[in-house]
Structure 1
């Protein structure tokens, strides 16, 4: 920081010192002006004169009042204006320039208030000072000193209003820049949070589904290992296949965290309803009876809707596998109804079986978050007579960032 910057910082930290320096400069100017006589005789334009004590007193009081111009600008204007009127009425020809302090005070008021107030106070100050000088002053009404008072007060009000407008403009730019910065930071935090939730949902769906299958098949293998080794080998084969699928999906999901341009980033498309038969087959191989009914008329869904539909079915069947018992049966229906795709998963679990709580657990919460993010609806709950029902309504058309519907086939 150079000397000029340090001086500016010091003056901003001590505004009273700056006002005192300004008052001293104005005092010097007014005292110097009081010794000049612009109306000399014998063809001499400028001569020196000796001001009287009353003029010097008014000059000193007007300059002293400027020290407090920031704290009480209107009061200082009233004081300096009154002193100027007194000098105009009682002063001898030629007068001392006491009005200079009123001009500075008017500038301060205009720079710290709004435009309508500036116009009102400025017109009042110009009218009072100019009128007092023209009507009650010792000089003729058309004297240049009287016209100068009118001009200087007008310029002071205009300059003060211009400075206030510029300061307000700069402050508005700074405020918009700060607000934009805060908005960018909040948007970045929101996107990070959404991405974390999305990855958490994907990890939960992958792990919960495949681990549930591994658990079932491992239990079967342990139960029939001694009596039916062939069936045990088949169960272990399913365990190996489920674990391999889990690793592949985990690799693809975690790979999304890699930076763009990473050659090891996954390139496989996200799973969708075209893999529904393969998904259902994994549950059937684990012993769950699943029936599928589709009436989606070959609709091609947006990637986000397609993935959400797949994950809803996957999580719902995983819950059936874990909670509905060994003899449970599940029914999956995928139906196109107008502008929506309806996904329904039912099971016939007995009333005594433990069903997932619709208000807790990450699985149902993840499903609800997925569906809500696409402006869809999800309803879950136990069925009358036993079992559980998951019903999702997903829009066939997604919404773009501008609120317009995206295209589907």
Structure 2
């Protein structure tokens, strides 16, 4: 911090001392001006005249009032205006007592609104000028009278200009603070959305593959002694599911560890074009899955395609985990006008101790995906037994600004 900045901070911390110093400076200027006699050719003469005691007293009162100009500016303006009028009427009209009224008028104009500033400025200008013109001993056209008119107008104008500049600077600071708060809120919102997206993706990947590993491991343990060939096949499925889970986890974690903008993934995100492969993994795990109407939903946007795939994946994972033995599932993905409808049905009776409908992170993740695209999700038990997941995804999603994505 420079010496000038330190001095400004010190003066702002002690406003009364600053006003006292200003009052002393104004008093010195008024007293010095009362000894000056103006001459032609831009020259002045000192010591020709001496102010009378009344003028010195009025100058002292006017300057002393300026020390309180911040506490009650209008009262200070009234007091300094009064002593200026008294000086114009009874004292030496050439004594610059009106200087204290000009400073007080500047203070009022710089601390109040524009309407009050101009109203008080015109009132002060009119009263002081009229007192000097009509009640003073000098002619109405004397330069001292014109000086009172000019200096009061300058004081009001300068004070209003300073007030306007302060208002502009404060408005700029407020806008900057609002912009900073908005940026911080936007950053926090994006971080929260990214955390939800990462948690959702990790849940989809881990839950699906771990469910398959659990089922195949159970099959291998059950048939290990009597049918070793089937046990080997189940262990092969376990190994394949584990490899797929590790690959997807490695890709997700790799994106998180990159600095700056992540690079493009080495393989495209899964979509409905890989739906048959997904159904095959569940069939190999012992879940009968039938696909109905899954061929008419091609050419979808990437976000809708990925959401539809993840909804089917999570719904079938829930069937595998909670529907119970002997349960079958049916998957339907159809294009219905401007929307894509994804339906997953199962006829299971449930496993003992299975979570109630609507619980867990899987259904929550599905609902978040659908809501992000502006669609609707309906889940719940079926009348004859089993569970139903039905999602409606708009093909042309809409952004928060109302524009097509």
Q: Give the structure-2-normalised TM-score.
A: 0.93
Structure 2 residue aligned with 1:258: 257
> Matches of 2:17 and 2:123 in 1, distance apart?
30
Counterpart of 2:71 in 1: which secondary structure? coil
Structure 1 residue aligned with 2:181: 182
Matches within 5 A, 1:141-220: 141-220=140-219
Counterpart of 1:325 in 2: which secondary structure? coil
> Matches of 1:308 and 1:8 in 2, distance apart?
61
Structure 2 residue aligned with 1:137: 136
Gaps (5+ residues) in structure 2?
none
> Matches of 1:230 and 1:39 in 2, distance apart?
124
Report if aligned partners of 2:297, 2:334 keep a CA contact under 8 Å in 1. no
How much does 1:236 deviate? 0.9
How much does 1:282 deviate? 0.8
Counterpart of 2:177 in 1: which secondary structure? helix
Report if aligned partners of 1:214, 1:238 keep a CA contact under 8 Å in 2. yes
Structure 2 residue aligned with 1:297: 296
Report if aligned partners of 2:23, 2:67 keep a CA contact under 8 Å in 1. yes
Distance 1:369 1:305, change over 3 A: same
> Matches of 2:399 and 2:380 in 1, distance apart?
32
> Matches of 1:319 and 1:175 in 2, distance apart?
52
Matches within 5 A, 1:210-359: 210-259=209-258, 266-294=265-293, 297-350=296-349, 356-359=355-358
How much does 1:262 deviate? 9.4
Report if aligned partners of 2:81, 2:124 keep a CA contact under 8 Å in 1. yes
Counterpart of 2:379 in 1: which secondary structure? strand
Instruction: Report runs of 4+ in structure 1 exceeding 6 Å deviation.
Output: 43-46, 261-265
How much does 1:5 deviate? 2.3
Deviations 1:200-220 (A, max 9, x none): 100000000000011011111
Structure 1 residue aligned with 2:68: 68
Distance 1:193 1:352, change over 3 A: closer
> Matches of 1:158 and 1:342 in 2, distance apart?
70
Gaps (5+ residues) in structure 1?
none
Distance 1:122 1:391, change over 3 A: same
Distance 1:400 1:352, change over 3 A: closer
Distance 1:12 1:155, change over 3 A: same
Bigger shift: 58-67 or 136-145? Answer: 136-145
Report if aligned partners of 2:375, 2:392 keep a CA contact under 8 Å in 1. yes
How much does 1:33 deviate? 1.3
Matches within 5 A, 1:77-92: 77-92=77-92
Distance 1:133 1:358, change over 3 A: farther
Deviations 1:47-68 (A, max 9, x none): 5322122111111111111111
> Matches of 2:344 and 2:17 in 1, distance apart?
79
How much does 1:95 deviate? 3.6
Bigger shift: 162-171 or 252-261? Answer: 252-261
Structure 1 residue aligned with 2:4: 4
Q: Give the structure-1-normalised TM-score.
A: 0.93
Distance 1:155 1:204, change over 3 A: same
Report if aligned partners of 2:316, 2:344 keep a CA contact under 8 Å in 1. yes
Counterpart of 1:255 in 2: which secondary structure? helix
Structure 2 residue aligned with 1:372: 371
How much does 1:128 deviate? 1.2
Structure 2 residue aligned with 1:392: 391
Bigger shift: 294-303 or 209-218? Answer: 294-303
How much does 1:37 deviate? 3.8
Structure 2 residue aligned with 1:21: 21
Distance 1:3 1:263, change over 3 A: closer
Distance 1:262 1:140, change over 3 A: closer
How much does 1:294 deviate? 2.1
Bigger shift: 319-328 or 49-58? Answer: 49-58
Report if aligned partners of 2:377, 2:390 keep a CA contact under 8 Å in 1. yes
Structure 2 residue aligned with 1:56: 56
User: How many residue pairs are counted as aligned between the two chains?
Assistant: 403
How much does 1:385 deviate? 2.6
> Matches of 1:145 and 1:263 in 2, distance apart?
77
